[in-house]
Chain A
């Protein structure tokens, strides 16, 4: 969020905080350089120097330097993640910048930043401090009459430049920290893919759960109530034989409509999610739709171990929709469905002897419900499944779908 202060546009951070960031860069940089590069190099230098120049009497000192040099990595290795944490806190506190955690294998990159931190810190702190001090120093010198007051014109320039210098330091430092302390681009992408896969699976599962919930609600609510209503109307119709003709006709009409509504609701609810799929699995649920199909369908199911409910539901809806498509468009005499589990994959093959020429056609006529073959391909893709359509003009048409069982 941008707000205006002292003639400088700021994001979320004040120039004071940026200045503090730049100034703290120096001590933190010195510390991190000392721990990561200074210490081992210094000890190594002492060790080499002692070995070459020290008198044999000072062997204990020489040995100590050599041992310390060899042991230096023992200090450096645990220091790296701690320094990284310190820098991460510094960026968060003063710049509001979140440096994403890098995977542990990024140690060398982190080490590089800690060495670099000395130079960024020194230059950044010096430049920022110089701007502020130059302004203050010029002012003091003019007040004390040491220099020409005309130079006072430089004071606003240096003071105005100071926040910009701090901002530039912050930008350079942030860029360095992001690229060396944070995850690399491919690491970021891999994390992103993990997140996306997970959220997509969640959405697919949530959609499935939602269908089941609606099915259950309708079953326990509207359907029972309608049955009860139809039953009561049926009883009224049976008992009220001596009712006046118009009343009797009204009851009869209401009874017919209630039973009609029940039939329609039943079709709708089964289309949402067939309860038998949960109870008995794909074979039983597919038997139901195959039996209802308006053409002879041969069904072969070989699924010795059931797949996850989401996958079963997707396979079921793919077959149901494919059969509807065949009945509507294929002019087929017969169809065949094979569902087979091979290791952790569910293979679904749907063939018909119709006229062929089916396309995935993303183009759909206006008002269509967005299902069709394209919808089937999308359903398969939503769980990293594959969908292949082979439909030469004149037929036959073959749809091959492969789904991962465990999704």
Chain B
């Protein structure tokens, strides 16, 4: 299984390379920032990219952004994001649209070698691996399952949203009017306790609730 590693800490880059090599993976390249990562992914088309979140130059969320680019541009490449902290918002971003071939783990997890290698394999073959911390955050956030409140038709619309369809796409799929779809969507958002917040995350959050942990 061919893997590209992006990790700016020299120590960890070397450690991960060794860990994966010992585990029988083929590390085709190990790079130190997001730009090199995208080049390496383009050049090698690996099965999986193992990505640190904070990398140069700004040491903020380069890794998440690079992971999103890879998911968009190279759908065949699975991504496993590692971070010192897991944030619900990053999980939401990563899972947006398509919850396959993606993982988001705390860096601590690499210490449990066999679990970690197992997670790598699952993500590489199209599975989803979320850190228990992320799941806990999502569970707390969505502890009262509001999906129960949706009608079957609304669930259907939400499922199509989860597939990444726009309102127009849903109109085509369900053969209903655009205004009907709009009504469904707004009813879903209301029932899922997602009042207007001025941000565009409501749709994503609704999808996430549907994908559910």
B195: CB under 8 A from chain A? Answer: yes
| Chain A residue nearest in CB terms to B139 | A291
B39-47, B104-112, B169-177: which lies at the interface: B104-112
> Of A258, A296, A301, which one neighbours B111 at CB under 8 angstroms?
A258
Q: Report B46-77 CB contacts with A as 1/0, cut-off 8 Å.
A: 00000000100001110000000000000000
A233: CB under 8 A from chain B? Answer: yes
A390: CB under 8 A from chain B? Answer: no
Interface members, chain A 193-244 (any B CB < 8 Å) = 216, 219-220, 223-225, 227-228, 230-235, 237-239
Q: Report A268-280 CB contacts with B as 1/0, cut-off 8 Å.
A: 0110001110111
B166: CB under 8 A from chain A? Answer: no
Give Cα distance in the complex from A231 to B13, angstroms.
12
Give Cα distance in the complex from A270 to B88, angstroms.
14
* A293 and B113 form a contact (CB under 8 A): no
Q: Report B138-167 CB contacts with A as 1/0, cut-off 8 Å.
A: 101101100000000000000000000000
16 contacts between A and B (CB under 8 A): A220-B59, A223-B107, A227-B12, A227-B108, A231-B113, A233-B111, A274-B87, A276-B61, A279-B60, A283-B199, A287-B87, A287-B89, A288-B87, A288-B88, A291-B136, A291-B141
Given A227-B111, A290-B141, check contact A276 B193 (CB 8 Å). no
Q: How far is the CB of B142 from chain A (nearest CB, A)?
A: 9
Given A263-B108, A302-B197, check contact A276 B22 (CB 8 Å). no
Give Cα distance in the complex from A231 to B88, angstroms.
25
* B199 and A291 form a contact (CB under 8 A): no
Q: Report B91-109 CB contacts with A as 1/0, cut-off 8 Å.
A: 0000000000000001110
Give Cα distance in the complex from A209 to B193, angstroms.
36
* B113 and A238 form a contact (CB under 8 A): yes
> Of B85, B110, B138, B143, which one neighbours A231 at CB under 8 angstroms?
B110
* A300 and B195 form a contact (CB under 8 A): yes
A142: CB under 8 A from chain B? Answer: no
A116: CB under 8 A from chain B? Answer: no
Note all chain A residues with C-beta closer than 8 A to B199: 283, 301
Give Cα distance in the complex from A279 to B138, angstroms.
20
Note all chain A residues with C-beta closer than 8 A to B88: 284, 287-288, 291
Give Cα distance in the complex from A21 to B34, angstroms.
71
* B60 and A225 form a contact (CB under 8 A): no
Give Cα distance in the complex from A279 to B141, angstroms.
21
Please list the residues of chain B having a beta carbon within 8 angstroms of any beta carbon in chain A. Answer: 9, 11-12, 15-16, 18-19, 22, 54, 59-61, 84-85, 87-90, 106-108, 110-114, 136-138, 140-141, 143-144, 193, 195, 197-199, 201
* A234 and B113 form a contact (CB under 8 A): yes
Given A225-B11, A270-B85, A283-B199, check contact A262 B111 (CB 8 Å). yes
Interface centre among B11, B84, B85 (most CB of A within 10 A): B84
Q: Which 3 A-B pairs have the closest CB atoms?
A: A230-B111, A291-B137, A284-B89
* B22 and A235 form a contact (CB under 8 A): yes
Give Cα distance in the complex from A283 to B10, angstroms.
33
A259: CB under 8 A from chain B? Answer: yes
| Chain B residue nearest in CB terms to A283 | B199
* B12 and A269 form a contact (CB under 8 A): no
Note all chain A residues with C-beta closer than 8 A to B138: 291
Given A234-B113, A302-B198, check contact A288 B137 (CB 8 Å). yes
* A266 and B84 form a contact (CB under 8 A): yes
Give Cα distance in the complex from A358 to B75, angstroms.
54
A303: CB under 8 A from chain B? Answer: yes
A304: CB under 8 A from chain B? Answer: yes
> Of A235, A290, A293, A298, which one neighbours B193 at CB under 8 angstroms?
A298
Note all chain B residues with C-beta closer than 8 A to A262: 107-108, 111
- Taking A231-B113, A262-B107, A283-B199 as given, write out 16 further A-B residue pairs in contact, using a Cβ cutoff of 8 Å, ordered by the A residue number: A233-B111, A235-B19, A235-B22, A238-B113, A275-B61, A280-B61, A280-B87, A283-B201, A287-B88, A288-B88, A291-B141, A292-B140, A296-B140, A296-B144, A300-B197, A303-B198
